[in-house]
Structure 1
Amino acid sequence: MVRVSGALSGLLVADFSRVLAGPYCTMLLADLGAEVVKVERPGAGDDTRAWGPPYADGEATYFLGVNRNKRSIALDLRADTEVARALAARADVLVENFKPGTMDRLGLGYDALRKLNPGLVYCSITGFGSGEGAHLPGYDLIAQAAGGLMSITGEPGGPGMKAGVAVADVITGLHAGFGILAALRHRDVTGEGQHVEVSLLSSVLSALTNHASSYAAAGVVPRAMGNRHPSIVPYEVFQAADRPIVIAAGNDGLFRALCLALDRPDLADDDRYATNAGRVAAREPLVADLNAALATRSADDWFERLTAAGVPCGPINDLAAAFALAERLGLEPAVRLDGVGQVANPLRLSATPPTYRHRPPSLGQDAEWVRDLLDD
């Protein structure tokens, strides 16, 4: 195997996943140095190869966004089972997101493969678990709906609204990567692999954090509040003279700084607004007063003035402006890899930073490389 620089250099990942949660997870592992072999369906490959527009030089940008640094081999898992088993026998990590039971029927389930490879870390990503929910389809939209995320997203009283990106898949991919790294640490100590399982539903519930806690700890069922926060005021979108601006004054000191910057010290001295709990209770009159003050200047003027006062605020950017902001801040948000634009890995590691080695592969392009690896 070719050794590459990175925190996970030397690890071989057999990636039997497709679409988003699994491929996102394995791309992050690959960015950190793991050698990832992506196993795809002959003739079609990963579903996202066909998910366009948009396209970049004829390739779906959806696929390009989560499959860099990987090798591709096309295998019919019914006919090429022995090749797949040989790959799993060599691998340190296997990731799959088939419907529960599918890999078992193919002879590629955890119980079968652990006999070939006791140190294998085997990660299964499902929609609703491998028990009573095994038959339910694992789609991000369904998970956002069934997991409660849509019920707290959108305007009050409106229909459920999904997030603008497949956050259930992305969060699940992150949880999967976290679980894999924990299992690898356990293997470092014991030499034993294990089965890592993560579901879209459980990941959504975990990611709902304060909202989920309000129900788990207090029995409170939160509802959609638009851009408002249920527990912090002011923490929402306000209207300046020309366009909206977001302000997040999350404590009493920041609220006072906001009021002084708005030339409204009377609001800071108003007993109704002395504490965050009071501001939440008196949200409507306070927001009306703040909007009246903000209407006197442009969003850019307020951004400069409030930032100078230490008040967290910002514009509502589109993606072009968001990338431009990250560039101005020196965050290097994008890279080009063999001519393909890519969103940079957000991690910054001082000794073993992410690397960008291979552009997203064409279907089956590395079959010879993989078979040579298995023949070693």
Structure 2
Amino acid sequence: MSDGPLSDLRVIELGNIVAGPFASSILADMGADVIKVERPGTGDIIRGSGETGEAMFGALNRNKRSVVLDLKDDDERADLIGLLRDADVFIENLGRGTPDRIGIGYETLSEVNPELVYLSIKGFQPGPYGDRAGMDVVAEAMSGLMGVTGEPGRQPVRVGTSIADMGAALYGVIGVLLALRERSTTGEGQRVDATLYESASHWMGYWLSYADRTGRDPEKLGASHPSWGLYDIFETDPEEWVFVGVTSERHWPALCRVLEAEDLLADERFDTATKRRERKTELRRTVAESIADWDREKLIAALEAERVPVAPVNQPSDLIDDEGLLAADLLTEYTSPADGESAQTVLAPVIGERFEPTQRLDPPALGEHTDAVLDEVVDDAADADD
């Protein structure tokens, strides 16, 4: 159907909102034929969730075809099983127990198609939390991620995107590719489990080690990090924000030169990394005063020239037509099925010497490809009989 390293794969996705659709979108961007199975009337529930829902659906469901099936209906559930008979990968992020209850659990489908790789994305692995409702913010809260996110002295906050959902999807895709690799030698598929809580916990692994070693939890990090004395965001003129990081002994004198702060460079309170880390609050206040009158773009240019880590604190709108994403060929445009308007998003950043992600299909209207896909199943069955 398409070019790409996964163009020989057929993926059936029965997913909603973020985790399942994000996993299949990565495979789709790399060429897989992804068929999204949706419920009649509403489809993926994110379709009906306002402006943000429309944007989420479009960004996560490009390069897919939509088929509407009522899985409570025996004939239409049989149509799904017909699709899965010759599929390579099945992805679902339904509630725990739902696939088995409606007759599409792994044990059932592996008998239909022994080569099927079955990715199941849930909130938690089986165990004491296994039956809890899984969602992104639950995983962020329980993993400790939310506990270190936000400003010291203020309430915890969630990350500004669905990071636990996407993390589970990424681990799920890694698992799928490993299962496909093993299938190439054994001829057998397998079940792959990916979960939000355990994925977020893996990302918190070094903070868990810190707490275990020291008996202390880190304070909320804000934009800083306790390993470095100067590693934070600063306000410039007029009311714009910039990140500056001093992580080596070379960065410190370079920063002082740019700020024309020879007195700061000579200050014995800050002349080593250890001293800067021990006096980070005082140091930040002093540097903030020097940065406050700078134009942000001029400061960034000056620090980049000295190879000091620096970055503007962008808004999502700043990524529209971003020169770096354009240079990497990762910005793509699609037409929304909700209103026919175009929008930009970012392709999966998986780039090799002989492969790259591609944009081929706009996000589908609900059930747009039902007849065509089911006709393909009939044709494939006829070919098999011949």
Q: TM-score under structure 1 normalisation?
A: 0.91
Report whether the alignment pairs 1:344 with 2:331: no
Write the deviation string for residues 324-375 of structure 1: whole angstroms up to 9, x where unpaired: 4435862345322356324131333332221211111111111122212222
Q: Could you tell me whether the CA contact under 8 Å between 2:114 and 2:188 is conserved in 1?
A: yes
Q: 3-state SS of the aligned residue for 1:49?
A: helix
Is 1:303 aligned to 2:318, yes or no?
A: no
User: Does residue 16 of structure 2 align to residue 22 of structure 1?
Assistant: no
Q: Quick check: 328-337 or 18-27, which moved more?
A: 328-337
What's the C-alpha RMSD, in Å, of the aligned pairs?
2.1
1:263 and 2:237 are equivalent in the alignment: no
Query: What SS does the corresponding residue of 1:239 show, helix, strand or coil?
Result: strand
Of 343, 349, 365, the residue aligned with 1:362 is: 365
Deviates more, 1:334-343 or 1:346-355: 334-343
Give the aligned partner of residue 67 of structure 1: 61
Q: Which amino acid aligns with 1:160?
A: P
Give 3-state SS (helix, strand or coil) of 2:35's partner: strand
Aligned match of 1:4: 2
Letter in 1 for 2:284: V
Alignment equivalent of 1:227, drawn from 223, 234, 242: 223
Gaps of 5+ in 2: 336-340, 381-386
Q: Displacement, 1:267?
A: 3.6
Compute the displacement of 1:219 (Å).
4.4
How many pairs align? 370
For each residue in 1:264-313, what CA deviation from the matched residue of structure 2 results, as whole angstroms up to 9, or x when unmatched? 34444545434433322111221122122223432222112111111111
Instruction: Name the CA distance, whole Å, in 2 between partners of 1:328 and 1:71.
Output: 26
- How far apart are the structure 2 equivalents of 1:254 and 1:166? 34
Which residue is 1:36 aligned to? 34
Which residue is 2:163 aligned to? 167
Cα displacement string for residues 183-211 of structure 1 (whole angstroms, at most 9, x for unaligned residues):
11111122221111111101111223543
The CA deviation at 1:12 is 0.7
Structure 1 unaligned segments of length 5 or more: list them: none
**Structure 1 stretch displaced more, 232-241 or 330-339:** 330-339
Partner secondary structure for residue 158 of structure 2: coil
Distance 1:150 1:122 in 2: 31
Deviation of 1:150 (Å): 1.5
Structure 1 residues 117, 153: CA separation in 2 closer, same or farther (over 3 Å shift)?
Answer: same
Determine the C-alpha separation between the residues in 1 that align with 2:45 and 2:289. 50
1:53 alignment partner, SS class:
helix
Secondary structure of the structure 2 residue equivalent to 1:336: strand
Offset from partner CA, 1:27-47 (integer Å, 9 cap, x none): 110111111111111111001
Q: CA deviation at 1:241?
A: 4.0
TM superposition score normalised by structure 2: 0.89
Residues 284, 9 of structure 1: CA spacing in aligned structure 2 closer, same or farther, 3 A cutoff?
A: same
Q: What CA distance in whole angstroms lies between the structure 1 residues aligned with 2:214 and 2:190?
A: 35
TM-aligned CA distance change 1:248 to 1:322, over 3 Å: farther
Matched, 1:202 2:204: no
Q: Is the 8 A contact 1:6 1:34 kept in 2?
A: yes
Q: Is the 8 A contact 2:229 2:279 kept in 1?
A: no
Distance 2:326 2:63 in 1: 26
1:46 corresponding residue in structure 2: 44
Correspondence 1:237-276 to 2 at 5 A: 237-243=233-239, 244-276=241-273
C-alpha contact 2:320 2:344 (8 A) present in aligned 1: no
- Residues 150 and 334 of structure 1, relative CA distance in 2, 3 Å threshold: same
Q: Give how far 1:18 is off.
A: 1.2
- Comparing 91-100 with 255-264, which one deviates more in the overlay? 255-264
Match of 2:275 among 250, 260, 278: 278
Letter in 1 for 2:298: D
1:107 maps to 103
> Matched residue of 1:235: which SS?
strand
Contact 1:5-1:352 at 8 Å conserved across structures: no
Shifted more, 94-103 versus 264-273: the winner is 264-273
Deviation (angstroms), 1:75: 1.2
